[in-house]
Amino acid sequence: MNTGEKTSIPNEVVAPQVEARAATNTILLCAGGACISSGEESCLTSLRATLEKYALQDVVKVVETGCMGMCDAGPLMILYPEGVFYQKLKPSDMELIVSEHLLKGRIVESKLFENPNTKVKITSAYDDHPFFTKQVKIATRNMGIIDPMSIEEYIAHDGYFSLQKVLQEMTPEQVIDTIKRSGLRGRGGAGFPTGLKWELARKVPGNEKYVLCNADEGDPGAFMDRSILEGDPHSVLEAMVIAGYAIGAQKGYIYIRAEYPLAIERLNEGIKQAKAYGLFGENIMGSGFSFDLEIRMGAGAFVCGEETALIESVEGKRGQPRVKPPFPAQKGVWNKPTLNNNVETYANIPTIILKGPEWFASIGTEKSKGTKVFCLAGKIKNTGLVEVPIGITLREIVYDIGGGIPNNKAFKAVQTGGPSGGCIPAQYLDMPIDYESLKTIGTMMGSGGMVFMDEDTCMVDVAKFFLEFSVDESCGKCTPCREGNRVMHEILERITSGEGEEGDIEKLETLGQSIIDSSLCGLGQSSPQPVLSTIRYFRDEYEAHIKEKRCPAKVCRPLIRYQIDESKCVGCTACAKVCPVSAISGEIKKPHTIDPEICTRCGSCIGVCRFGAISRVTPA
């Protein structure tokens, strides 16, 4: 019902939240995916029980937040009002934290972070640990700070005030102009200017338009969208309403992977809460503008991350890409004009509206404004989720934020952009990370997955892995991608089995280029990138496999052999016991030997040898 009367966010919703946080002790427990799998739930149970034991359950507020980012050190906890940050918690630590910290005001030193450079214990890691101090949080501003299931907390942290500003003070054109001036570009990977996209969708005539959110995060190694949706669902919901207002759409869809049940649950809950406050649905804040959305679940097809395939899938069909043009802005969902953005892109919108485009544009580089969320995974010390200003160097990400490569190994490369991207080798450590620079060296920003590799990673094997992925996930509609990738994979299979031939590298290059030139959709056009990029930077590794039948990283099984150093082996028999195929023989207390004919190169023995007597050698 539109009474014509405009309503605002009630102050009685906001104020108590802020006051409550300041007055009482609040414990924030990170309930991001990694912390949950390292035991957050049992810590929570233990914490609640301990609080009750000391009769503190009413004066200490416990909040489960979204991902705090430093997944490797989980489960994580922050205690307010002091802001003390504890890490690597176990249920048994709760007694100490409650009895020492809460009751006696003594910080539990053993659970603090340590400054990696000075080795001094840090009480407030957010302020003092390089993992956090180098970050600038915009899209992930509320993660690890608010309870994602509480709209009141979101509102208390400026949530829905952008929507209020948009609906009460701005015309759709002004909203679009703001986004354009901010310089925000699509965070899904390709980097198309967001404001321009919105403008195109607005200009197409029609009463029925759709706002779409691509939450089909399929790149292996990327989990930022999942973390945002689980940790701060309202930021995306608010942005989608703003987008609806800007382009003139009243309906939206969030297309999300079925593998993310928690995110789906939180989005549904978020929509319900927002509707209860009149911030969603009919006649939002009395403005006369209505917007509603549906959540559509994917069903495990990587290609559905491509926007036209995603649209097909939203319509309940096989997710095969459409031919462009027409672009989704002209003909998208149900052939109506459609605006499609990625989760992280949306999460930036409310802050841009609130703080202004100039503020946003002051962060980043000339052509790439703002921040980018990256997921650090693979061979890196501090795995986790970080948001950094675009233009930061790779070196800062690896060594300052990431803490370097574990076990004192050398940094070899980082894979960005998943199966559509390429690798960045060590010689580009000082290059700024932005859309343009990455393109010039043969990779792409991608959705933000960064998988680190050290000297023990075989680049040919990695390229084969990505290609296998693309072969498996090719939708089959166009021949270059369906058949071309398969042939490339066969060649790589031969190379890694020691049957590579002279000329194979050139074949891969020619074939890869034709797939790029002739595939229908963005995925096909980028699928050979991991191979081409590893050839570009690690051609010598390919050549070693082909010409010398040697795998320099000692990974490709047919090209390696395990051997026991007689001078180091004490004959403890540990290796012989663990060998699944009984390839190791020898008497107790005498050096053992491995029969290469029987050995399957599973590597079990190397893991159990306490004397470092077993090594891999190549060629076999």
Partner 1 sequence: MSTENCTECARHETLYHELDAFIEQNSHRPGVLIEVLHKAQSLFGFLPSEVQSFIAKRLDIPESTVFGVVTFYHYFTMKPRGQNQIKVCLGTACYVKGADKVLDRLKEELKVDIEEVTQDGRFSIHEVRCLGACSMAPVVLIGEKDFFGRVTPDEVPKILKKYRG
Where on the chain is the footprint of partner 1 (CB under 8 A)?
33-34, 36-38, 71-72, 217-223, 226, 258-261, 294, 296-302, 313-320, 334, 375-379, 383-385, 415, 418, 449, 451, 453, 457, 462, 465-466, 469, 475, 580, 602-604, 607
Minimum CB–partner distance for residue 449 and partner 1 (Å): 7
Task: Report the b/e string of 349-377 with b at 16+ CB within 10 A.
Answer: bbbbbbeebeebbebbbeebbbbbbbbbb
Which of 78/301 has CB closer to partner 1? 301
Residue 320 or 348: the one with the smaller Cβ distance to partner 1 is 320
- Secondary structure of 419-476 as H, E, C letters: HHCEEEEHHHCCCECCHHHHHHCCCCCCCCEEEEEECCCCHHHHHHHHHHHHHHHCCC
- Identify the H or E element spanning 131: helix 130-133
Q: Give how far the C-alpha of residue 230 lies from the chain's centroid of Cα atoms, to the nearest Å.
A: 12
Task: Please report how close the Cβ of residue 55 comes to partner 1 at its closest, in angstroms.
Answer: 33
* CA dist., res. 409 & res. 96, Å (int): 36
Is 140 within 8 Å of 346 (Cβ atoms)? no
User: Hey, is 594 helix, strand or coil?
Assistant: strand
| Under 8 Å between Cβ of 503 and 396 | no
Minimum CB–partner distance for residue 396 and partner 1 (Å):
19
**Beta carbon nearer to partner 1, 185 or 226:** 226
Q: What is the smallest separation between the CB atom of 451 and partner 1, expressed in angstroms?
A: 5
Instruction: Determine the Cα–Cα distance for residues 65 and 514; give it in Å rounded to an integer.
Output: 47
- Nearest-approach distance from CB 600 to partner 1, in angstroms: 9
Q: Between residues 411 and 466, which has the closer beta carbon with respect to partner 1?
A: 466
Give me the residue label for tokens 């209860």: 276
User: Among candidates 52, 63, 49, 51, which has minimal Cα distance to 98?
Assistant: 51
Q: How far is the CB of 589 from partner 1 (least distance, A)?
A: 24
At 112, list the tokens.
């603090």
- For residue 467, the one-letter residue type is L
Which residue intervals of 70-113 are DSSP H helices?
94-96
Least Å distance between CB 383 and partner 1? 4
At closest approach, how far in Å is the CB of 558 from partner 1? 15
Residues in the chain: 620
**Shortest distance, CB of residue 355 to partner 1, whole angstroms?**
29
Nearer to partner 1, 151 or 375 (CB): 375
Smaller CB separation from partner 1, 95 or 468: 468
Residue 241 CA from chain centroid, whole number: 24
> Which CB, 34 or 508, lies closer to partner 1?
34
Residue whose CB is less far from partner 1, 34 or 488: 34
Q: Which is nearer to partner 1, 129 or 369 (CB)?
A: 129
Distances (CA, A) of 256 to 260, 354, 570: 7, 27, 55
CB of 83 to partner 1, least distance (A): 23
CA distance to 200, 251, 540, 541, per residue, from 247 (Å): 9, 11, 52, 51
Between 184 and 314, name the residue whose CB sits nearer to partner 1.
314
Q: What dihedral angle (degrees, nearest 10) is formed by the CA atoms of 236, 241, 247, 251?
A: 100
